[in-house]
Structure 1
Amino acid sequence: MSATLATPAPRDWSSYRADFPQLARQVHGKPLIYFDNANTAQKPQSVIDAVERYYTQFNANVARAVHTLGEEATAAYEASRDTLARFINAGSRNEVVFTSGTTQAINLVAYSFALPRLSAGDEIVVTQMEHHANIVPWQLMCQRTGAVLKVAPITPSGELMVDRFLEMLTPRVKLAAVAHVSNVIGTVNPIAELARACRSRGVPLLVDGSQACPHMPVDVQALGCDFYALTGHKLFGPTGTGALWARREWLEEMPPFFGGGEMIRTVSFEGTVFADPPHKFEAGTPNIAGFIGLGAAIDYINAIGIERIAAHEAELLAYATAAFKQVPGLRLFGEAPKKAAVLSFLIEGVHAHDLATLLDHEGVAVRSGHHCAHPLMQFFGVPATARASLSFYNTREEVDRFIVALEKVRRLLA
């Protein structure tokens, strides 16, 4: 009789910190408190090792060689596509296009999908909470075609006005583009509901998933959207990595965004026959090491369990929110019932940059500025906020130390 292997017991959450070398360092002589995860996440040692292993053991280009190194590089690179496809439950690995990040993914949809379909008077619908990466490409498309950008409003608490969004889905709308999770206020939008409404009206839906994939399960088939963009460096992977998931039928119809090597079947001076998706959209030498590292990052997340991560971060967010509300003069932006572990805030009379600068001297890393969301700042009537964004490797103790540092800064600037 074969032995049954027991499932390893979950590790204590604080023990995961040892997997991230950066978390052990000090800043200005104080232990680092890294609360800038919405900007970029730290990398576990397994990701760093995967990148180093590529460069030291089988550094070669992909899909161009029959020698051993080239075959090993190609196998590892394409294995990461399989890993990512499973992670978001894509219907096929061929629906996953590797990009440099969400920005490139959205621009790919803008130029290859939207531009050929837009005419004067057509409309694109976005929301008031979008990152610039999900605004500017659509503005460029509108300038080129005469289409009009429409903006679905949000409530003072940062929730999307879903009824207003649905009302805007008129026959003139050729595309809707919505953040899964706001990078500023953490609001989690009801993507499945929005996708059903869009599909019933024949409106393709693009989702900016940069802030969702590191913090919650993402199933693109269950969500029912048409396009889903994600960024690798927020997902504990290397910078310069990301992906666009798209329905197979759209990828087959879309023309290439870039032209060059590796995205073709044959080339002659009379014309070119392009490769099938996803390679049709992946011209040139890719970030091979980066995508191998991204595969390792997803393996790391899977070993923990994304559902466990989501539950833990929800508890951490509740704890931090309660602590923030005890700080005199603190204004918290965005308190939607469903939100990720992001807290944007200001102290009365203190500029966000001053807050972040002085917190840095206490060893605390937070983001300050408009967070690539000028329209959202205008909605709240402020030029900038400070933003504390948490990850599963952050702790209640760090929140407590942050509050002490914040109180110190507040008194200094009072």
Structure 2
Amino acid sequence: MQVTETLNEGLKRGYAITVTAAELDEKVNEKLAEAQPEVELKGFRKGKVPMALLRKQFGQRMLGEVMQEAVDGAMNKHFEDSGDRPAMQPEVKMTNEDWKEGDDVNVEMSYEALPEIPEVDLSVISVEKMVVKAEDEAVEEALQNLADTAKDFEAREEGAASEDGDQVVIDFVGKVDGEAFEGGSAEDYPLALGSNSFIPGFEEQLVGVKAGEEKDVTVTFPEDYQADHLAGKEAVFSCTIKEVKAPKAAEIDDELAKKFGAEDLEGLKAQIRERLEAEYAGAARAVMKRATLDKLDELVSFDLPPSLVEAEAQQIAHQLWHEDNPDVHDHNHGEIEATEEHTKLAERRVRLGLLLAELGQKAEVEVTDAEMTQAIMAQARQYPGQERQFFEFIQQNAQMQQQLRAPIFEDKVIDHVFDQATVTEKEVSKDDLQKAVEELDEE
């Protein structure tokens, strides 16, 4: 077997692989000899079939397997000997297309090698960690929001008209083209006006109604409504208003605290303060992570595999196009060209991705089974009632597993960088942190 270099430009590599006919023949004979003891053919006892007959019966099939194994073996040995790591799946093609039994096999292999990643002294990195304390005002605001969510409703005076924010208790029957439809009727339904829980335009028409009144509400179902037979259709809902209730804010006291699992009001305030500061810490980490990635990007420079950059640029362009065209949910659109700006961002992502992978490997960073399970469960919660099916889907899908593993790995590598870097804490206001987070989105 011969492997000859045909291309070596930058990260691009090319090799010609030749597997001789004699090597193939020898491998076929080895496989047949290995299988002979277990082969049974009519007229022969098990294990006594002559080699010549075995070759005639199974030789062609064995030859195909041997050719594939020989080429794969040559490729694997090449990567072991050279130390090259292909950026993407190598392109392999047979050059003697008119090959027949008895000929050598000639194959061309080409790929882009991953670059050598330079050593980085992480101790030279200095980053600032923003620290925000939860002020009493923020805690009180969060308390008030909790009280709003726990609000009750009490009946308005007799004859009072409903206002936006009120709750109306109604019976209703919905009809399309004069015919009632399934799921379009209810009795004693408590509807909070302004909650936007009904079809657009429904709740607004019930502002100003009084208990005991009847009112027809005319609305048009959205074009993308989940029930196809109703999408885009005009419907009339005959409503009977049974009660009109005004919102009543919950008292901020120990009883409210108990509703949210705390022993008393002071305990609830402590929980809120802890939650707020955890949110601030998460936002501050995102700011510190971006600053750290910026510094890493400045510290390293190496050749990038063009295929990885191109693929990443295309993905960025495609994602941004869909963000600008949110009504398009499929991929039935024209080709999206990556711009110079997309390519520049792709180069940064590929460079940092390769660097973080190298840093993680050297630091022996691993994603544990427990961390993967936690990530899968977090995703599964987005599909209530189908968690088990989602879990099984992930277990059987290697690509989805990698998509979940990658951000966990990256965050663990970033934590490793933080451990090596100089991190200085700086106490700032909530507004300063918010401004820093908004600047991340603008970049």
TM-score, with structure 2 as normaliser? 0.18
Q: Which has the larger radius of gyration?
A: 2
- Higher relative contact order structure (alpha carbons within 8 Å, sequence separation ≥ 6): 1
